[in-house]
A and B are shown apart, each in its own frame.
Chain A
C-alpha cells in the first residue's frame, strides 16, 4: 500500500514538475507568440529614412519610385519559440513585400531612339530656321540656332567656354555611335563596327573632343554591350523626357508634342518602358541606379567570337543576344558643362533669375521646395530659398523632392517648348497649384515665436511650446510637429511631394498637424471633431462660446480657442488658434497649419467686441 502511495506521489511529482516547467515558460512564450502573430498578420514597415511611413511612398509617381521596405518585426523575445516565430513572420513579411533596392530602366530598342529624339528636340536642339536666320545656313550650328526649353532658359546666344550648350553636351555625353554602341570608359570611346571589330571613335568635328553618337544612324542598329554612366548613354537634355516618362502613372501614355510643327500631333509612348526606381541604400544616396536591357535580333556577324586568326569560335543562337547596361542617374557629370547644365535644371544660384529651370518657371518670389538639407545626395549648388540669405554650396537633388516636379516637367514639355497652337493649356498653372505665393519664406528651421513664454495659463504655455517647435511642412505651412508629435505627419508623402493636393492629405487625421490638433493637444474639452466648425458647435452646445461682438478684454483669456472664417469662403469656420495673451488693445494668438505661427486680433477701441482680421472674420471664442 505504501509502495502504491509512493508511486502515485512520485508520478504526481514528476507530472507536476513538467506542468510547472510548462507553466513557467508559457506566459512569456504566449506573450511573444501573440506579438509575433500580430506582426505577421499586419507587418510593420519602417521607411529606412528616419522611420517615416512607407505606405504612401509611391503616392504620385506610379511605378516610377519605390522605396525599399524594411520589415521591423518587433519581436523582442529571446526564447527559441519566439525567435522561430519571429523569424518566420519576418521571412513572410519580407517575402510578401518583396521590396526592391535597385531600379530598372528598360529601354525598348524600337522606341528608345525616337523617344529620345523627341525629348532632345523639346529640351535642346538646333533649329534650321534659326540657323538660316542667324548664320545664313540652315545646317549651321551655334548658340543662336538653339531652340528648346533649355535654350529658352538661357540668355540669347549663351555659350560657355566658347561652346554652345548643345555642342558641349553632345561632345560631353558619350553616346551610341555610328550604328553601334559606344563602350564608354571615361576618356576613350570605343565603337564596335560590324565586320571591323572594336575601334576608337573620333569626334568628326574636333578630334580633341569626345566623340558623339549619331542617332540617325544608330536608331536601327544600336545596341551592343553598353557600360557607363547614365549621363553618358542618355544625353542630359533627354532627362526632361525621362523625368516626364518616369513620373507618368502606369497605364497612362506619355505624350510629347513636336515643337517644330503646328499640326504635329503628340507622340505617345508607353511609360512602362522606363521604370526608374529609387532605393534606400544605407548611405541614403539618391542616385538612381538603372539598367537598360532588351532583346536584339541575332546577327552572327556582330557578335560571334573569333580566335586570333579570325576563325569563328562560337555564335549566339537566335534571340540570345541581349544587351544590358547599368549606371546611375548621377548629376555629377564628368564634364563640367553638363554638370552646369544640370544645375540649371534643378537650381543653381541664390541670385534671382538664376535659380535653375524650375525656379525660373515660377512667378517672382516663388520657388519649388527641395529638401536638400535633409537628404543630401546628388551634388549641386542650390539655395532653397532663392532670395534668402543662406547659401549652400552643396545640395541634393532628388526628383521626388523637387516639389511639384511633375507639374514643372509638364509645364516645360507641354507648354514652354511646344508650338503655341498645340501647347497644353494650363500645364504651368497645374505646376503652381497648391503652392502659396509667398512673402513668408520657407525654411528648414523651427523659427521661434517672437515673444517669450510667460503666460499665466498652462494651456497657453503649452500651446506656445508646441507652436514654437513647429516646422514648415506641407505647402510651407507650419504643420510639422517634428519634436512633440512626430507621428502626426506623413513624412513619406512630404518627401515625395511637399505640395500635395488636398485629396492626398484629407483622408488621414495624422497626415499633418492640423490647426485643430493644437487645440486637442492643449486642452481636453474640445469635442470629438478635428473640424473647426464642429469644434465651435461643440463649445456652443456646452455654453462655453463667446460671440465676437461680446468678446471683451476681460472675458477673453489666454488659453481660449479662437475661430476664424475666411472672407468670401463657404459659410463655415475655417481655422482655429489659441489665445496666448490679452492687452487692452489686442490679443495675440498662436496657431498651427498656417502661414505664420502667431498673429493678433484688435479689440474695438471701447474694449468690447473685436475687429476682424484683414482676411478673415473672427468667428468667436471657446472657453476651455
Chain B
C-alpha cells in the first residue's frame, strides 16, 4: 500500500500518538532529570559585610543538610569582581572556596559572593578588602617586619642577659613578686590574709627573697621593696 493510499485519518492518529508519546517522553525526561531542590545555606564565613578581609582564610559555606555528589557538582561560587579560587568539599555539608592568590584581590573593594546551585544563586554575601593602597600595604608590612624584628631581638637580648626575667611574676599564696623595669626594683606584695603574725610576715619576706635568689637575681645589684599592709 502506498502512503497516499493510507487513509488520512490513520496518518493523523499515528502522528497524534507519536506526538503525544514524544511529549510524554519529554515531560518525563524533563521532570526526571531536573535538578533536586536547592540546598539551604546555613552560614557563610567570612560573615556578610566583613571588612578588612584579605582572603587569608577560605570562604566556607555550610549547608543545612548533607549534599550528594550530584548536588555538590552543581554548587559553585561567583565572585564580583572576579577572583580565582579552588573548591574543596570538607564534608558533605561544608565546602571551602580558597582564593588562589589572595594578594591579587583588589584593595579597598567590596566583593560580592554568590553561592550558585545549578547556576542559580541560592545565597549572597560580601566582604570588603582593607581600605589601603598596594603601596600602603607594602609600606605597612615593611615597617612591621622591622618592628617585630626589633622587638624580638631586644626581647631576646634582655632574656639572654637576665635569665631570671622569665621566672617572673612569681605568684605564691603569701606573696607576689613583679619587676618594675622603670625603677629596676622588685616589688614584693604580701598577701597573707587577715592578721598574720609577725613571724609569718617575716617568713613570707624571707621566702620571697629566697625565690628571687633561686631565680638567679643578684640582690646586691637590684633593689626590692615590700608592700605590706599589715604593719
Contacts and interface: CB of A to CB of B under 8 A. Distances in A.
A283 interface: no
B213 interface: no
Interface stretch (B51-59, B60-68, B192-200, B202-210): B51-59
B119 A30 contact: yes
Nearest to A609: B182
B121 interface: no
A529 B132 contact: yes
B51 A528 contact: yes
B155 A594 contact: yes
Given A477-B152, A583-B176, A616-B154, A595 B159 contact: yes
B183 to A, nearest CB: 8
B141 A24 contact: no
A573 interface: yes
Contact of A439 (B84, B141, B159): B159
Give the residue among A76, A527, A574 with the most B Cβ atoms within 10 A: A574
B90 interface: no
Given A44-B86, A502-B145, A508-B141, A596 B8 contact: no
B150 A569 contact: yes
A534 B152 contact: no
Nearest to A603: B178
Given A10-B19, A530-B137, A615 B178 contact: no
Contact of A575 (B54, B73, B132, B151): B151
Contacts of A3: 8, 11-12, 15
Classify the interface of chain A: helix, strand, loop or mixed.
Answer: loop
A532 B88 CA distance: 34
Give the residue among B30, B86, B189 with the most A Cβ atoms within 10 A: B86
B118 A436 contact: no
A593 B152 contact: yes
Contact of B26 (A20, A39, A604): A20
A134 interface: no
Interface string A542-579: 00000000000000000000001011011011110000
A502 B74 contact: no
Contacts of A612: 181-182
B165 A614 contact: yes
B41 interface: no
Interface residues of B, number: 82
B57 A42 contact: no
B160 A437 contact: yes
A27 interface: yes
B140 A485 contact: no
A569 B181 CA distance: 18
Contact of B160 (A439, A485, A531, A533): A439
A520 B52 contact: yes
B153 interface: yes
Given A17-B22, A528-B130, A615-B157, A566 B147 contact: yes
B153 A436 contact: yes
B22 A10 contact: yes
Interface stretch (A121-129, A180-188, A463-471, A509-517): A509-517
Nearest to A515: B148
Given A514-B148, A527-B52, A575-B147, A6 B16 contact: yes
B37 interface: no
Give the residue among A437, A485, A583, A595 with the most B Cβ atoms within 10 A: A595
Interface of A: 2-3, 6-7, 9-10, 13-14, 16-17, 20-21, 24, 26-28, 30-31, 34-35, 38-39, 42, 44, 74, 76-78, 365, 434, 436-440, 475, 477, 479, 485, 487-488, 502, 505-510, 514-517, 520, 524, 526-534, 564, 566-567, 569-570, 572-575, 583-586, 593-596, 599-600, 602, 604-605, 611-616
Give the 4 A-B CB pairs with smallest separation, nearest first: A574-B147, A531-B140, A528-B130, A615-B154
26 contacts: A3-B8, A9-B19, A9-B23, A17-B25, A20-B26, A74-B87, A74-B88, A78-B73, A439-B160, A440-B156, A477-B152, A502-B145, A505-B145, A508-B103, A510-B56, A524-B52, A528-B131, A530-B144, A531-B144, A570-B146, A572-B143, A575-B151, A595-B159, A613-B155, A615-B155, A615-B158
